Chains A and B, each alone.
Chain A
């Protein structure tokens, strides 16, 4: 009986971890890539994303590079969304896996060392990839600490 319970606990633990995708464990190279193209390649493989209907928002001029509000939103049925930038030593900022029932609409605050561009890649449920890129100026870099 005890074994049964233990097994059950283990099983639930496994299902939970199956639901949540840890891209750091699955794609470790994506997090050390120095530039955006190689980060995308490490994360999704050889892809040629099309310009898609993605609403990627960030201020044109960020006064504080330590906390730049960035939001990404899309109506494309998406499996995951990844956000990259080219100002910091490594390119990948965050990868969102989108569970069933969750909107493809995320906001966060990010750090950027200097002016640069933010790229969002949407992995559609249809297996296609879409991208969007915006540039912004950073008045005061955020990585000096």
Chain B
């Protein structure tokens, strides 16, 4: 009986942990350069992601495994503001720019997924 309660409570703990980190529970926070500035209701965002973006050809030459960003998403709260499916041909340490309707003080969160399945994110307040 005690065991059951213990198991149950641990499940409850896990659920709360998942809820706190939703929507991507397995994501790792990384350093990313994010600049987001609002003017007249439009937020201009510039993002620099550190990533090798090894193409299949480059990886073969270097004897490494290919790995590149396959998907980048920008969200403010629950709203998706940027959504790009990308290939190996973005430059090393890719730089992206986009603009969306938003307001000062909100938090812009950038999440990216790479070929190996890793999910990484960073967030910054809109200035």
Looking at the complex, which of A8-16, A47-55, A126-134 is the stretch in contact with chain B?
A: A8-16
Interface size bracket, A side: 35 or more
Q: Which residues of B contact A23 (CB under 8 A)?
A: 85
Is B4 engaged at the interface, CB distance under 8 Å to the other chain?
A: no
Q: B99 contacts A103, CB within 8 Å?
A: yes
Q: Which residues of A contact B56 (CB under 8 A)?
A: 89
From known contacts A9-B22, A67-B92, infer whether A94 and B87 are also in contact, taking CB-CB under 8 Å: yes
Is A35 engaged at the interface, CB distance under 8 Å to the other chain?
A: no
Contact with A along B76-116 (1 / 0, CB 8 A): 00111111111111111011111111100000000000000
From known contacts A20-B73, A103-B42, A145-B61, infer whether A96 and B84 are also in contact, taking CB-CB under 8 Å: yes
Q: B71 contacts A22, CB within 8 Å?
A: yes
Identify A111's interface contact among B22, B61, B91, CB under 8 A.
B91
Contact with A along B44-84 (1 / 0, CB 8 A): 00000000011111100110000000110101001111111
In the complex, what residue of chain B is closest to A6 when comparing beta carbons?
B15
Q: B90 contacts A20, CB within 8 Å?
A: no
Q: Which residues of B contact A112 (CB under 8 A)?
A: 89
Cα of A71 to Cα of B97 in the assembled complex, Å: 9
Q: A92 contacts B18, CB within 8 Å?
A: no
Q: A108 contacts B97, CB within 8 Å?
A: yes
From known contacts A99-B79, A99-B80, infer whether A66 and B91 are also in contact, taking CB-CB under 8 Å: yes
Cα of A89 to Cα of B55 in the assembled complex, Å: 10
Q: A109 contacts B58, CB within 8 Å?
A: no
- Which residue numbers of A lie inside 8 Å of B, CB to CB? 2, 5-6, 9, 12-13, 15-16, 19-24, 31, 66-68, 71, 85, 88-90, 92-99, 101-103, 105-112, 142-145
